[in-house]
Chains A and B, each alone.
Chain A
Amino acid sequence: MTTTNDVPAILTRHLTKRYGRARGIEDVNLNVRQGEIFGFIGPNGAGKSTTIRTLLGLIRKTGGEASILGLDCEKDRTRILEQVGYLPSEVFYYDGMRARDLLAYAAGFYRTDCTARIRELSKRLGLNLDQKVEDMSLGNRKKVGIVQGLMHSPRLIILDEPTSGLDPLVQRAFFDLIREENARGATVLFSSHILSEVQRICDRVAIIREGHIVAVRSVADMRRSAVKRVTLALENDCASAVHALESTPGVRSLKAGGEDEEGNTATFLYEGDCNALIAALAGMRLTDVEIAEPTLEEVFMHYYQSEPVR
């Protein structure tokens, strides 16, 4: 991946948006480097769309600062939008228009001739340009949105839940397109609540929870993190083991009481000194033990269920 400019593609400092007394996002600090594919994950309602809409100037921030490609998100909004492609999570368009006409209307706002690119993208996604948008399925409307977001070869592509409604084949074509855009030099902000998607395509990930960024990690680091998934099979009743584990620092997401042919089982995530873990396990009667790499889903839940947000 080539980075031609040191200016961050997206930079936010203490970015805050409140809806009256309701929470939107609080103190969001992001630094997305040019040329990377940056994942933005969190459950529904965590603040992903609010962050994106604040960045795009669709809603006004309550506090903090935000810039895209070195330009202020509010003052330089029009200049920013020339260089940004955006796919919203929910796609709505004018009634009565064919995809062809709608995309031609959108293309007219940019300084480049997008005709050939519209044709190419539509062909790759299998989009019928002559169909009226209102008659299209969610998946096909999403395709229109993808073409609209990519047709002008933007420097920054912002995708908000981009794959909802797309069938697996189109998803594959879509991911190929995003990788090609990234190889061309485009930065991608990929918002999703589906971790496997993020794992598939992103370099780094920010996890947002209840409007706060709780972690920013590379996908590789998250996989390699000290967090381990530990599964114990205990000879006897696991109550005493659970008691011991609950008082062991670094143990999270403890689930106990399951039974199999090996005996009672307990599973948990562990982050910390492995000697302390071994010492805690040494006092237990085990029939089996498995210490494994957690799935990204488990890593996510680890962050998501950690200490309460301030």
Chain B
Amino acid sequence: MSAPMVGAPALHVYAFELKSQLRSLLIGVATLLIVTILLLAGAYPIYRDSKSSVEQVIDGFPPQFAALFGVNDDVFSFGGFYRFSSLYLMLTMAIMACAWGLAIFGREKRAKDADFLFVMPISRIAIYLAKLAAGLTLVIVAGLAFLASVALTYTRFGDDPTATSIALPRLLLAASSLFGVGLLFLAIGALTAVLLRRIRSVSGIATAFGILGFMLVSLPEMTGEDKYRIVAPFTWFNVSEALDHGRYEAGYVALFAVMVLVCLVAGAIMYVSAGFGSLPTKEDPRA
């Protein structure tokens, strides 16, 4: 038996959560890298080189249908194709991050062993923060792996003027949108785990949230009403703005920050309250 760690209980919880999610992290990062490479290194050259045929196909789409999937005339340039691809990359990250939030913060509920963790000499807020730190670590590791894969893919298109016209830092800034999406959906997953009495399927709930986020993108796209972006979190990270002007819109960044804070603070308040996650006793009407 390995010698137990002395002290630093929060670090202990952090390490346990990271270790527990290691397999999920590896699968998630691999999925993200495969999607990135398939889209940017695989699909983009095919689109670019078959422009006329693809245009004929796109022209046949109803505009709403094309908007739903993020398809437009711009997909034949590297930047345009990245914008199109970013929706799917955000979807992948959203599902992964939401699943991490649900799994980490709902672990004791699913195992019904809150009485195991909550009688350890560590405060509940310390447990919550340790779990949050583990979730953030997963999002950061996945995000960094994604940035590296985007940068590597970009170097393959040195002879493509639509790619070289975009400076690498701007492309990386655009790719950093996945950190934002990851953080937001991690917070949503965490709050959902705290709110739900039972978590039947982590992957099912995470996929539902991810797909919902993806679908909501089409709302401003189809209606042409910018105001609907407020309910479409993927659009809060405006990739075009990052690629073209090297920045994100301050208002939407603030909205993102407020949403993350609200989810995390609400989750923390519920998590630290006595009774949370505890098995009902025989006198408890929940029993």
Interface of A with B (CB < 8 Å)? 19-20, 22-25, 44-45, 47, 49-50, 53, 56-60, 74, 77-79, 81-82, 84, 86, 88, 90, 92-95, 100, 103-115, 118-119, 129, 148, 211
B279 at the interface (CB under 8 A from A): yes
| Cβ-closest chain A residue relative to B118 | A58
B45 at the interface (CB under 8 A from A): no
Which of B6, B121, B273 gathers most chain A CB within 10 Å?
A: B121
Find B284's partner among A19, A74, A79, A106 (CB 8 Å cutoff): A19
22 contacting pairs across A/B (C-beta < 8 A): A24-B283, A45-B283, A50-B284, A53-B278, A56-B119, A58-B115, A58-B274, A59-B275, A59-B278, A59-B281, A60-B273, A60-B274, A74-B274, A88-B115, A93-B116, A103-B1, A104-B2, A106-B116, A110-B121, A111-B6, A115-B3, A129-B1
Given A56-B119, A78-B121, A82-B121: A90 in contact with B274 (beta carbons within 8 A): no
Question: How would you classify the secondary structure of chain B's contact residues: helix, strand, loop or mixed?
Answer: loop
Q: How large is the interface on B (under 10, 10 to 19, 20 to 34, 35 or more residues)?
A: 35 or more
Starting from the known contacts A22-B284, A56-B119, 11 additional A-B residue pairs (CB-CB under 8 Å) come to A50-B283, A59-B274, A81-B119, A81-B120, A92-B111, A93-B111, A94-B107, A104-B4, A108-B12, A110-B4, A111-B6
B62 at the interface (CB under 8 A from A): no
Which of A94, A103, A119 gathers most chain B CB within 10 Å?
A: A94
Find A49's partner among B1, B275, B281 (CB 8 Å cutoff): B281
Please, which residues of chain A bring their CB within 8 A of the CB of B107? 94
Find A44's partner among B5, B12, B119, B282 (CB 8 Å cutoff): B282
Find B283's partner among A79, A109, A211 (CB 8 Å cutoff): A211
* Complex Cα–Cα for A78 and B12 (A): 15
Which of B6, B12, B279, B281 gathers most chain A CB within 10 Å?
A: B281
| Cβ-closest chain B residue relative to A93 | B113
Chain B 1-36: CB-based contact to A (< 8 A → 1; otherwise 0): 111111101001000100010000000000000000
